[in-house]
Structure 1
Amino acid sequence: MNDVNAPDDETPICSAKDCRAPAVWVLAWNNPKLHTPERRKTWLACDEHREHLSSFLGMRGFLKDVVTLPEWQERESAADR
């Protein structure tokens, strides 16, 4: 039986533990002890987990940017051109 609310295999999902909700947000971050300043790692977040994941990264000084998934995809697409 298929859950009509479950994301398909192509849908980006939230990075929060055990969450399977579709991602709405991209949290761009880096660990300055490991990454060059321009490097960006990403976590994806649903609306419910955006604040929790942002706080986790922010408390460590890792969070660099929070944008909607479509905005991030547009930035990435423009950078590839």
Structure 2
Amino acid sequence: MSGQESPAICSAKGCHAAATWAVVWNNPRLHSPDREKVWVACGEHKQPLADYLAVRSFLKRVEPLEAVS
């Protein structure tokens, strides 16, 4: 083992691209307000994943992945 971390892979179903975005969300019915869940996304899937969460009022923010690492 080299000690290097593997790159994050996009959370979108069937996507194997490297993730560069963090889609931060919280389901208030299941999680306390301070708990944040993160889906990682490639550039192509950043908006569809954010839209999916926004429709459900779960989306908190979208930011570059290195900002949450």
TM-based fold match above 0.5: yes
- Return the letter of the residue paired with 2:60: K
**Structure 1 CA distance, aligned partners of 2:65 and 2:22?**
6
Identity between Structure 1 and Structure 2 (%): 48
How many residue pairs end up in the alignment?
Answer: 65
Q: 1:64 aligns with which of 57, 60, 63?
A: 60
Structure 1 stretches of 4+ moved >6 Å: none
Aligned-pair CA distance for 1:49: 0.3
**Larger Rg belongs to:** 1
Equivalent position of 2:48 in the other structure: 52
**Structure 2 CA distance, aligned partners of 1:16 and 1:49?**
7
Structure with greater helix share of residues: 1
> Higher RCO, 1 or 2 (CA under 8 Å, sep at least 6)?
2
**Structure 2 CA distance, aligned partners of 1:43 and 1:71?**
13
Instruction: Provide the alpha-carbon RMSD of the alignment.
Output: 1.0
Q: 2:10 aligns with which of 7, 10, 14?
A: 14
Name structure 2 gaps, 5 residues minimum. Answer: none
